[in-house]
Every structure is written in C-alpha cells, then in structure tokens.
Structure 1
C-alpha cells in the first residue's frame, strides 16, 4: 500500500531464507513466552533462598511486567526508525546478560534488577521480532502460516514455562529458571546475523516523537503498576487507584500530543483503521481471559484439589496441546473462511469451554471435565489470537509494521498483566475458595463473549 510522504525502505544483506528466518524468530519468541511464567512456581523457593519477603517476591513479577508492557510501543517505533534486526539482536544480548545475572544473583537487589532488564529486553525483542516476521513474508497464506506458528509457540511457551519452572526448581535449582535462557539466546545471536536481513529507511531516519514516547511510556508504566497493585491490595486502595487514574490522564495527554506533533509515535490514521483498533481490542480480551484462567485453575488444582505445584503445572500440558493444535490449524481456517470468521469462531469456542468449567466440583474426579474443557478452550483461544495478529497487522506498509506489531505486543502484555489481578480480586472475594473461583470463571466467560460480540459488530467481513 503506497503512503505519501514516506521514505522507501531498503534491504541490506543477502535475500532472506524463509524457513531459517522463521526458525530463528520463533525460537526467540518461544523463549520470551516461557519467561512470562517460568518463575511463578519458583517464587516461594526464591524467597527462601534470598531472604525475600512476600512484597519482595511480588516485585520479581511486577518489575518484569512493568518494563515488558511499558516500553514495548516505544521500542516498536524505534525498530521502524533505526532497524528491526539491530534492535532484535541488541535486545537478545541484553536478555542473555540479564538472565545470567539473575541466575547468579546473591542479593534481592541484583535479582530484581535482572528482572527489570529482562522486561526491557522483552519489550525490544518481541515487536522487533514480530515486525521482522511480518516483513519477511508477504501478506497472504505465507504470513498467515508464520503468524499461526508464532501464536501457537507463544501460547505453548506460556504453558511450558509453568511446567519447566516446576521441573527445574524441583530437580535442579530456581537459578536454572534464569540460566536456561542463556544458551538459547546465544545460539540465536550466533546464527541470526547471517539469516535475518535489516530493514530501514533510506537516508536520515525520521525524528522520534519524544513527547509522545515519554507520555505513553509513563502511562503504560502507571497503568501496569496500578493493575498489579490492585491484585495485591484491592481495587479501592490508594496504591491502585492513584496510578490507574494517573495512567488514564497520561493517555489523554498522549492523545493530545499525537494530534499536534509532525511525526507522531502512533499516527491517528493508523489507529483509525478498524483492523488495527478493533483487532487489538479482540486480542486484549483473548489474552486477558485465557492467561487469567490459568491462574484461576492453578488456585483450583492446588487449593481445592490439593495438587503439588509440579503436578498442577503438568496438568496444563493438555491446555498447551490445545493451543499448539489451534495455532497450527488457524492459518488454514482463516484462509478458507476468512480472518473475521476465524476470530469469532475462536471466541465462541473459548467462551463455551470456559462456561463448562463452572461445573467443576471439589474432588479429583472432576478432572474428566477440566482436561477436555481446557483443551477445547486452548484451541479456541489460539484461533482468536492468530486471527487477531493477522487482523491487527494487515493492510499496512512495511515501514509501519514495527508500529503495528508494537501495538499488538503491547496489547498482549497488557492483557497478560491485567487479567490476573482482575480475576484474583474476584476469586478472593468469596468465603469459600471454590465459590470465588466460580465467580471469577463466570466473569472470564462474560469477557470472552463480550470481546467476540464487539468483533462481530465492528470488524467488517473480508471481501
């Protein structure tokens, strides 16, 4: 799609090798997805090893989430302006160093600093890697297949992280939850320069919208911090309300800034596209609901059924299998019936599977319901996620792919961050654990259905 007033993109290096390009990018994205959940099971052991209090343990997760969500849009735009491969490789180097520091940490301060840099690296590598993927494959069947594999491995990585964290912590040490990243990152860094091509604007890069970058980054940091505090202290606490209100005010300021600067960080014309705006709304509900459902089912398995952390993690292997199959099937389904129909089908399947979980009881015989419901829900959720990623990045020129994938990545990070505190507040509000979990599952299913309904109303069918 030609865009007036833009500078043409040039390519440096040899022609890309599609399969090797895909393998390199998927390996990096899978590793980043594992990082989101690999420490969850290990947190109590880390607290004992380093003498961390409960509030300190929460900061291990919060420090990562703040940086991963807060800086992703900024780094997505930097990738567009100054080179996607350059940012991808630089972010991987930071991730390897931060993971090594975390694995060798002997004090809480070093560990939390390592999590900060892991979050920053994730915010850089994820949008840069996704934009490299979308610009390496033309819009159509090849890109749909690549995004389907990426979505399947992302979701499988989130599930694998929960399992791997339990296995490494129980058999080796919590330190390996950090150290496992180092050889993978180094392997990608060794082969990526010969496989990936750089894409950048000719001549001098456009100026970065500094006021917009500052306001949106502060807004996302504030909102993410408020959401994590709400899960710990309640939605009515000052520690949650103040940053949430500040984040909302900063987003309004960001909108005003973008309407006035010459080179906005997020051009209003891009957000005006229905595919970008409503595609990201659909993605937000898909990530918010399924990742928070994993949290609710972890409570159910451990607090109601009495499973060990490792056994609970292994139970989610069924969900992981569903997401892999859903991600593999999604591109073919989207090619046959259209992306919008795939998105709606996935949302409805996920909603139905979540509603089925309301029948869970208080003994282990109910695994006959939990296992097939999570499998089917994983298939539906992955159909929705792949369709969201195709929708949110389609119809845009290559020089805006970093922005589009940055927005999509931000949606993913905010959804993952937002879901758990929302559902935790609902689940802990009832006298009985199982009653609270059922209340939260009801809200989860309602949100999944609402997201599907909005997609049906506001996304136009493809011609």
Structure 2
C-alpha cells in the first residue's frame, strides 16, 4: 500500500511534539505536584531530571535498537511505553511512584524519538523535500516546548496537575492506531552490530549515581558516606563506560568522534546550554508561583515571550552562521543568555513583570537557541557524512545529560541558600527569592563557561549544503 510521505511526517512530528512538550508542560505543574504528593524541595527536581537523564542516557541505544529491530517496531513500542507511563504518572500517589513513571517515560522517549527521525530520513529523499520535512519536524518540536508552559497552566488551573501527564494518553492511542496506516514498515538492518547494552547501563547508571549524590549533598552533607559513595560509585561506572566504549566493536559513543575539536567543543557547549536552560526553567516556574503567587496559567503566559524569542533566535541563527561562521554566533548567543540570567537575578517577589522579568526572559530565550543551532551545525560539519547521525546523537545526549547534571547542582545550592536564610530569620518569601537568585547566578556561570568552551572551538563556515545536512541529522 502506498503511503503519503506527508501523512507519515504528520504522525512522526506529533510524536516528537509530545516528547518535547513533556519537558516544559510539567514545569508549571511543579508547585502543585510538590504540595499534593509532599515532595521535598531537593526531591522535586527529580521529576524533571530523571526524565531527561533516562532520555539522554538511552537515546543512542534507542537509535541502535531501531536499526537492529526495525524503526517502526521500536517507534510503536516507544509510543506505548510513553503512553502507559504517562497514565501511571497521572495516577501516581507518592513521590517515588511519580519519579519511577517519569524515568520509564524518558526511556520511552529515547526509543521513539530516534526511531521517528530514522523513518523520516528514509521517507524523504535527500534534498529540498527532506529539508522542508526537517524544518516542519524541528518547528513542531520547538512549538511543543513553547506551548507546553501554557497548556500546562490551563490543565493545572482547570483540572489538576495530573492532567499534564494524562493528556498524553489519547494522543498516544491515536498515534499507535495511525502508525500502521500511515508509516510503512522498514526492515531491520542486517549484520553483526551489537546493542552495546553494557555501555548504556554503565553510562546512564553512573550519571544517575552522580546526580543522586549531588542532590543528597544538601540534606546529608558533602562528607556523608551516602553522598561520597554515590559520587565515587558514579565516577567509577563512568570510567567503566569509557573502557567499554573503547573496546566495543560497535560502541554507542564512538570515542573517535570526540577527537574532533569541533564536535567535542560543540558537545560541551550544548551540555552547558542545557544546564542553563533546565535550571532557569525549573527555578523560574517555582518563583512565579510560590514567590509571586501567580497561578499556573499565569506563569505559563509569562513564559510565552521567551518562547517567541527562542523561535526567533533559532530562525535567525542559520543565516548568521552562513555569514559569520559558527563560533561568533554561539558566543553571541551565550552572552545574551548570560545577560538575561543576570537581569533575572534583579527580580523580586513584588516587582513589575515588565521591568524585572520580561527583559531577562526575552534575552535568555533568544540566546539559548542562538547557542544550540550553530553548535549542532558545528558538531556534524566536521565529520564524515556517514557518521553525521552518530555525531548528532552524541551531542543531543550531551545536551540532555548536561541539563540534568546542571539542574542537580543548581537545585542543591539554591535550596541550601533558602534553608540557610530561613534558619537566620528570613521570611519564607525572602528565602525563596534568595535561593532563586543564587540558582540563576550559578546558571549564568554555566553560560560563562560555555563562552570559554566556544572560544577554543574552530571557527567553521559551513556551506548551505552542510547546514542542510546538519539540520537533517539534528
């Protein structure tokens, strides 16, 4: 049966839309989740972190599984897992159950997202049609992030926080039904390639242990056996991961790619960019509702201008890269993000939104995508064509993992500041604002490091064809 490629694109883009939507839609529900389930302040960040860690940690394994078992099969399996765990998250009655559901939900996203991209690249031939398809794909994904904050606010205020998860279920059911009708089956690749499951488990397990150690540092103390054990164990697993990858016949992370200065510096910049973005989003969503006492919907609407400038930054970045090269555009974006974060540190609980919050949000939104787009282009512009997909997968994983690690550090230090100020007689509102300001300063420090990393990157001036190929691999 002949299937329209544009119908295929619709199914795949909607799937990617809900994966991206699920990062931002949850942020505005965090205060309600905290009060409903009794989350501690430091424990609340796991609702975000565990999803991004499992998504980033198993992203490459999901792509490998799509190659070996068939991309449509893994796409549907990922959809089902994502839908079931969305329902489980919406029905969760304790912090532990919600975090477990979010973890497996991230695994479902790590299966369906690379499988969808694999289907898309073989459905559309190289050239103009594929570039149009990739533009729609990327645009819908970006729209998911922007609409998530408003949709989350509407659902929380109209129903409850549980609906930010349950809303995924009917969408997933519709996509599972539509997939056999509109997405053709692609046979699995033949050959002796392995899954490299040990690599995926060691890498993701090590990262989880390190993040858990950082999060527990505030309540238990940095010198506690629990924290030191997690940090040492996590580092040991990550060293084991590198050892496994260096010896694997078909490693998830081809270490030879990291010898490329363009790719390694782009990956570092994206990791720091992810850390700045997730930290800012997490802190500001709580600040808008708990310190400024806005509703979830009001908080979502206040985030919207940032989403608009983020889209503008992404659109403007490509012609700027063509004219000036990747490095100047990345540095400019990181500077804008840093200034935006520093402006936000001036915001108080009772200050004007237009004067104290809006300028920082606008700058940060434009800056964050002005870093991401040229970094993604730089990552794949300096590698051979047959490794562009692997390189893109590596830096995407860097972005997700960097975001989770950065959020853990920021949340821990932000919480310790609020706790300390409360103990010294500050009001709850003042303590929360002080913690918010410290967290943003640390996020700004991440972006300063991103500037330094980018400064030592090669200044690439890719051709229009290379940029199109990078967009297709992104």
- TM-score bracket relative to the smaller structure: 0.7 to 0.9
Give 1:254 deviation, angstroms. 1.8
Query: 1:1-80, aligned counterparts within 5 Å?
Result: 17=5, 19-43=6-30, 45=32, 54=40, 60-61=47-48, 63-80=50-67
Of 102, 109, 119, the match for 1:122: 109
Could you give the per-residue CA deviations for residues 338-388 of structure 1, whole angstroms, max 9, x where no partner exists?
Answer: 344432332222223223334334532253241132122201211212222
Q: Cα–Cα, structure 1 residues 151 and 35, in superposed 2: closer, same or farther, change >3 Å?
A: same
Give 1:251 deviation, angstroms. 1.6
Query: 1:414-453, aligned counterparts within 5 Å?
Result: 414-430=401-417, 431=421, 432-433=430-431, 434-453=433-452
Give 1:455 deviation, angstroms. 1.5
Query: 1:313-352, aligned counterparts within 5 Å?
Result: 313-352=300-339
Query: 1:328-407, aligned counterparts within 5 Å?
Result: 328-365=315-352, 367-394=354-381, 400=387, 403-407=390-394
1:301 alignment counterpart:
288
1:220 is the counterpart of 2:207: yes
8 Å CA contact 2:57–2:200 kept in 1: the answer is: no
2:257 alignment counterpart:
270
Q: Cα–Cα, structure 1 residues 180 and 288, in superposed 2: closer, same or farther, change >3 Å?
A: same
Distance of 2:26 and 2:224 partners within structure 1: 27
Of 310, 330, 333, the match for 2:297: 310
Q: Tell me, what secondary structure is at the counterpart of 2:66?
A: helix
Distance of 2:218 and 2:52 partners within structure 1: 13
Q: Tell me, what secondary structure is at the counterpart of 1:418?
A: helix
Q: Cα–Cα, structure 1 residues 64 and 258, in superposed 2: closer, same or farther, change >3 Å?
A: closer
| Farther off after superposition, 141-150 or 110-119 | 141-150
1:290 is the counterpart of 2:277: yes
Q: Cα–Cα, structure 1 residues 422 and 217, in superposed 2: closer, same or farther, change >3 Å?
A: closer
Distance of 1:390 and 1:232 partners within structure 2: 41
Give 1:296 deviation, angstroms. 2.9
TM-score by length of 2: 0.80
| Farther off after superposition, 99-108 or 368-377 | 99-108
Give 1:400 deviation, angstroms. 4.4
Give 1:448 deviation, angstroms. 0.9
Distance of 1:392 and 1:173 partners within structure 2: 41
8 Å CA contact 1:135–1:401 kept in 2: the answer is: no
Q: Cα–Cα, structure 1 residues 46 and 379, in superposed 2: closer, same or farther, change >3 Å?
A: closer
8 Å CA contact 1:36–1:158 kept in 2: the answer is: yes
Distance of 2:262 and 2:120 partners within structure 1: 19
Distance of 1:150 and 1:82 partners within structure 2: 24
Q: Cα–Cα, structure 1 residues 341 and 62, in superposed 2: closer, same or farther, change >3 Å?
A: closer
| Farther off after superposition, 253-262 or 184-193 | 184-193
Distance of 2:43 and 2:439 partners within structure 1: 26
1:461 alignment counterpart:
460
8 Å CA contact 2:89–2:98 kept in 1: the answer is: yes
Query: 1:102-113, aligned counterparts within 5 Å?
Result: 102-104=89-91, 111=98, 113=100
Over the residues paired in the alignment, what is the CA RMSD in angstroms?
3.6
8 Å CA contact 1:82–1:205 kept in 2: the answer is: no
Distance of 2:46 and 2:445 partners within structure 1: 30
Distance of 1:91 and 1:374 partners within structure 2: 34
Distance of 2:103 and 2:285 partners within structure 1: 26
Q: Cα–Cα, structure 1 residues 460 and 333, in superposed 2: closer, same or farther, change >3 Å?
A: closer
Distance of 1:152 and 1:201 partners within structure 2: 29
| Farther off after superposition, 387-396 or 195-204 | 195-204
Of 266, 280, 287, the match for 1:279: 266
Give 1:444 deviation, angstroms. 2.1
Distance of 2:357 and 2:105 partners within structure 1: 33
| Farther off after superposition, 342-351 or 74-83 | 74-83
8 Å CA contact 2:273–2:447 kept in 1: the answer is: yes
8 Å CA contact 1:127–1:409 kept in 2: the answer is: no
| Farther off after superposition, 398-407 or 262-271 | 398-407
Q: What is the aligned residue count?
A: 449
| Farther off after superposition, 293-302 or 226-235 | 226-235
